[in-house]
């Protein structure tokens, strides 16, 4: 029987990316022990079969610790790149003309192939083209047909197959490439819990992924294009969670524009009750250093104060020299922030107005009642996870333990603020619900004898979306006798 470990006292989740530096079962277990709550598998690197051992290692933690594990598969998306050069690289001089065309011949200092017809169809004069993560800037002077004539505004060295960003135009790009479709099918077959869609521009981009997933995983939209920010509320309606992907967002926008957008995205997601992940370069210096910069620590702390559901490590845990230390540092920063007496007030700067439903009203009431009667925990029964999302949106001050008979629901809740999910048998009546809530609160050490807990559920039991019960009970300490869940 798997041992039961108490839930983490920290409420924000830590999402760690796996890669060459963290690809063994031993290292995955170390990352979990250091504070990782969920794991990201980047489908941009390596082949599909190389992901199976990672998935198996994550699920092994589930068996060893008796806690559902959470896996997010991150699709590459339509990555735009220029072609290759005759000499491998060229220097683009500021003020000079440079042409992008459909000719596959090796490039020169005056032209190069651009193997993306969609750009030729959607680009307009005066638009910017950013090359090599924004290091070089081109301004479009003529567009149409098979040629895009540009003027170099910021020059520099440009080498083979460097990335290209088009920040000023919504391109007619398919949201998913053939590789993405194949990777998505693999990820769902392998049983991942979340699928992240890259370079989302519009809510319609999510429809194809949703259709292919067919309910087998939850869908996360990565916000990394200015066009996506303009239609943020619609995108939030169409997905299950969002990620503030600050890498490409910081390429296509001025750096100073990213922090206010991060806050806007976090606030909008919280108001809609959708989990929000803040990602990219959070502890970037720890790729090569055992300690972060003070600015990085402040950056992580800001996301925690803003009430983000999860904070993510990328190369720090995937390919850096200090993967375990990076996770431990992220964990310790978040823990320190949440112990700040001002944290609760700051988290509630964002007003999350409940929808006019019974379930939302009870979720809001649970948060208030917990404070009024000094309850030690909220115990929530759910099938789909909807009730848990409603309660988590309120950012209660006490632990939120979620009991569900559906393992897939328990796993998906690993990205949700403050949730400790437990996979357990369902209950059939009110008395059984109360008794099980008491036992689980004691067994998982979220409350002790003499404490009050708040119990939420839906009657009739086993019907998704029927939350209509809120009950306050006191523990005696005798509830565990003779029971095994």
Instruction: Kindly report, residue by residue over 297-342, the tens digit of the pLDDT.
Output: 999 999 999 999 999 999 999 999 999 999 999 999 999 999 999 9
Instruction: Please say if the pLDDT value at position 4 is more than 80.
Output: no
Confidence band of 482 (pLDDT split at 50, 70, 90): low
Could you give the CA distance from residue 362 to residue 345 in angstroms, rounded to a whole number?
Answer: 21
**Which residues of 233-374 form beta strands (DSSP E)?**
241-245, 276-279, 310-313
**Is-contact 81 68, C-beta < 8 A?**
no
Instruction: Kindly report, residue by residue over 70-102, the tens digit of the pLDDT.
Output: 999 999 998 899 999 999 999 999 999 999 999
Residues with Cβ < 8 Å from 33, sequence gap 6 or more?
Answer: none
Confidence band of 7 (pLDDT split at 50, 70, 90): confident
Which H/E stretch holds residue 311? strand 310-313
Q: What is the set of active-site residues?
A: 40, 81, 222, 280
**Is the preceding omega at residue 460 within 30 degrees of 0, hence cis?**
yes
What pLDDT, on the 0 to 100 scale, is given for residue 263? 96
Could you give the CA distance from residue 91 to residue 156 in angstroms, rounded to a whole number?
Answer: 5
What pLDDT, on the 0 to 100 scale, is given for residue 1? 46
Confidence band of 170 (pLDDT split at 50, 70, 90): confident
- List, as one string, the DSSP characters of 43-111: TTSS-GGGGHHHHHHHHHHHHHHT----EEEE------B---BTTSEEEEPTT-EEEEES--SPB-SSE
Which range, of 21-25, 44-48, 52-56, averages the lowest pLDDT? Answer: 44-48
Could you give the CA distance from residue 249 to residue 224 in angstroms, rounded to a whole number?
Answer: 4
What pLDDT, on the 0 to 100 scale, is given for residue 466? 73
What predicted TM-score, i.e. pTM, was given to this entire model?
0.92
Could you give the CA distance from residue 35 to residue 339 in angstroms, rounded to a whole number?
Answer: 16
Tokens of 314: 């990328």
Could you give the CA distance from residue 168 to residue 153 in angstroms, rounded to a whole number?
Answer: 15
Enter the DSSP assignment of 404. Answer: E
Q: What are phi and psi of 218, to 5 degrees?
A: -90, 155
Instruction: Kindly report, residue by residue over 380-399, the tens digit of the pLDDT.
Output: 999 999 999 999 999 999 99
Instruction: Kindly report, residue by residue over 422-481, the tens digit of the pLDDT.
Output: 999 988 888 999 999 999 999 999 999 999 999 999 877 767 767 889 999 999 978 777
Q: Give all domains of the chain, ordered by start, each with its CATH number.
A: 13-77+175-342 (3.20.20.60), 89-165 (2.40.33.10), 358-474 (3.40.1380.20)
């Amino acid at each position: 029987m798997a041992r039961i470990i108490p839930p983490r006292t920290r409420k924000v989740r830590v999402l760690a990316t796996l890669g060459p530096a963290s690809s063994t079962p031993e290292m995955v277990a170390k990352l979990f022990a250091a504070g990782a709550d969920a794991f990201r598998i980047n489908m941009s690197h390596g082949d599909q079969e190389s992901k199976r051992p990672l998935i198996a290692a994550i699920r092994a933690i589930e068996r060893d610790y008796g806690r559902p594990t959470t896996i997010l598969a991150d699709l590459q998306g339509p990555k735009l790149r220029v072609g290759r050069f005759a000499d491998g690289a060229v220097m683009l001089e500021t003020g000079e003309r440079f042409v992008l065309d459909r000719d596959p011949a090796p490039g020169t200092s005056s032209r190069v192939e651009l193997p993306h017809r969609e750009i030729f169809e959607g680009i307009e004069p005066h638009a910017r083209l950013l090359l090599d993560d924004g290091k070089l800037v081109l301004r479009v002077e003529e567009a149409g047909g098979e040629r895009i004539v540009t003027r170099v505004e910021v020059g520099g060295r440009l080498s083979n197959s460097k990335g290209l960003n088009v920040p000023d135009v919504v391109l007619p790009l398919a949201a998913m490439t053939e590789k993405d479709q194949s990777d998505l099918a693999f990820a769902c077959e392998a049983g991942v819990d979340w699928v992240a869609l890259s370079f989302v521009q519009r809510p319609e981009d999510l429809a194809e992924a949703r259709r292919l997933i067919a309910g087998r995983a939850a869908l996360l939209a990565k916000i990394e294009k200015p066009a996506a920010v303009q239609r943020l509320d619609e995108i939030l309606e169409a997905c299950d969670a969002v990620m503030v992907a600050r890498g490409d967002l910081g390429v296509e926008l001025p750096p100073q524009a990213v922090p206010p957008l991060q806050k806007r995205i976090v606030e909008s997601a919280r108001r809609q009750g959708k989990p929000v992940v803040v990602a990219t370069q959070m502890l970037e210096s720890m790729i090569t250093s055992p300690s972060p910069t003070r600015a990085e620590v402040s950056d992580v702390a800001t996301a925690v104060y803003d009430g983000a559901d999860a904070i993510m490590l990328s190369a720090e845990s995937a390919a850096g020299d200090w993967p375990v230390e990076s996770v431990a540092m992220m964990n310790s920063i978040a823990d320190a922030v949440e112990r700040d007496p001002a944290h609760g007030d700051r988290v509630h700067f964002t007003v999350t107005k409940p929808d006019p439903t019974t379930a939302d009203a009870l979720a809001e009431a649970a948060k208030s009642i917990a404070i009024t009667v000094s309850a030690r925990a909220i115990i929530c029964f759910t099938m789909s996870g909807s009730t848990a999302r409603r309660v988590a949106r309120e950012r209660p001050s006490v632990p939120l333990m979620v009991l569900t008979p559906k393992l897939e629901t328990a796993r998906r809740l690993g990205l949700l603020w403050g949730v400790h999910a437990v996979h357990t048998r369902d209950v059939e009546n009110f008395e059984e619900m109360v008794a099980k809530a008491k036992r689980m609160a004691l067994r998982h050490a979220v409350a002790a004898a003499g404490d009050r807990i708040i119990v939420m559920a839906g009657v009739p039991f086993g019907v998704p979306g029927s939350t209509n019960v809120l009950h306050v009970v006191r523990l005696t300490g005798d509830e565990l006798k003779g029971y095994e869940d």
